[in-house]
Amino acid sequence: MGLRIFNTLSRSVQEFVPLDPAGRQVGMYCCGPTVYDFAHIGNWRTFVFADLVRRYLEFKGYELRHVMNITDVEDKIIRRVRETQTPLREFTGQYEAAFLEDLKTLNCRRPHHTPRATEHIPEIISLIEQLLARGLAYQAGDGSVYFSIEKYRGCGCAYGQLVKLNFDEMRVGERVQSDEYAKESVADFALWKARVPDDGEVFWPSPWGEGRPGWHIECSAMSMKVLGQSFDLHLGGEDLMFPHHEDEIAQSEGATGQPFVKYWLHGAFLLVEGRKMSKSLGNFFTLRDLLGKGFSGREIRYALISAHYRETFNFTLENLQGARTALARIDECLGKLRELANAAKPPGAAPGDLLTEFTAALDNDLNVAAAWGAVFDWVRATNRRLAAGELDAAMATAALAEWEKVDSVLGIGVVADAEAPPEIIELLEARQAARQAKDFKRSDAIRDELKAKGWIIEDTPKGPKLKQA
């Protein structure tokens, strides 16, 4: 059986069939970061979810084109640029770089394309021109260009494909300039915002005068530029469903007359310690905050993909402790298999059917919780067979090969000595020096210090080895 996913458009679980007649190529777009600050752990849940989808599609043999935009011009950015008196590119560049670094820390595969909004102004302008030509947009008295929901609906198009909207109770026809507006109003939204004094130096020329694009039009222009008018998958957090994604559909289908996206996938919210994350509650974490508490990227990644993407996830520091324990169990089992496999022979039969169960779980609307269940069943069974001496080198090699395939999706990898941070390596070297000088008191003290930092030293015939505790 193939992959089945919950499509927000149909509100049902559907078989995944790519638009490509050959059934191989898949286009996937995920709304990227707005680079005005460090991304928080709620944002990261969505990005790691997108990475899981990407890795699983690649695991299934699809040729993926993964696009994630960088929103580098938008209301919040302009405000921060004004407050910090930094040039736009300099301001957004630092957060874009931090974002890409964090993406790596979480072992996410880098999207094939990461287009910046500010580098697609001509595409954005031409899309707005198409909407004007089709009579679906208008320039208002303030000089800004708006999308007309009424005209769009008038030509038989559906606004509200993702969320059910009750138009009778809404004040249709009102106009908003803000990128993020109240969910209660189905308002005409700005495609192009006329320059105002607060924009400072952030503006571009256009047929409608100086100004800048609205947030929603950026995603339509960039996704269709790279993936074409119609593509397979569009992902995002559930908070983006309305108005952002509804507006993307309206702009794109309004301009091209073609269906925009075949499958919409939305990741659910993340709570922290049972509550909505907020700075005032003290439960607001960026990735860097958590790294600063001594957790590793793979532990955080593990926690973020431990629950099904459509379930609200309660993220706690206890989860991260649990992630550490769970990963240690996997590492230990793999370590034993590697030792056994070292007397390498041709692959024999793998000890279980990890791959079959793992694939069945993820095919079922990406049920990652069940996939982890299959992993830990396998760890338990493998440990039992190792203890009973039932595995030989060939079987261990086959088991490791199977694990490699599974980990190509989970991406929790294996921590090698080389990946230990420099300060840890330094401590290890200091301990070696102390041992050579027969200063065992000092070498023991350094060992304890490493342990407190989450690293264990194993003395092997080939020298000391570092392991994450």
Contact set with Zn ion (CB under 5 A): 31, 219
The residue among 245 and 308 lying less far from Zn ion, judged by its C-beta, is 245
Rounded to the nearest 10 degrees, the angle between the axes of helix 121-133 and helix 215-227 is 100
The CB-of-216 to Zn ion minimum distance in angstroms stands at: 7
In sequence order, the 6+-apart residues with CB closer than 8 A to the CB of 438 are none
The residue among 55 and 244 lying less far from Zn ion, judged by its C-beta, is 244
The CB-of-60 to Zn ion minimum distance in angstroms stands at: 25
The CB-of-423 to Zn ion minimum distance in angstroms stands at: 39
Residue 239 and residue 269 in contact, taking contact as beta carbons nearer than 8 Å: yes
The residue among 31 and 277 lying less far from Zn ion, judged by its C-beta, is 31
The residue among 31 and 287 lying less far from Zn ion, judged by its C-beta, is 31
The residue among 241 and 328 lying less far from Zn ion, judged by its C-beta, is 241
The residue among 46 and 144 lying less far from Zn ion, judged by its C-beta, is 46
| Structure tokens that stand for 121 in this block | 């102004």
The residue among 31 and 326 lying less far from Zn ion, judged by its C-beta, is 31
The CB-of-244 to Zn ion minimum distance in angstroms stands at: 6
Q: How far, in Å, CA of 462 to CA of 456, rounded?
A: 16
The CB-of-440 to Zn ion minimum distance in angstroms stands at: 59
The CB-of-240 to Zn ion minimum distance in angstroms stands at: 6
The CB-of-70 to Zn ion minimum distance in angstroms stands at: 11
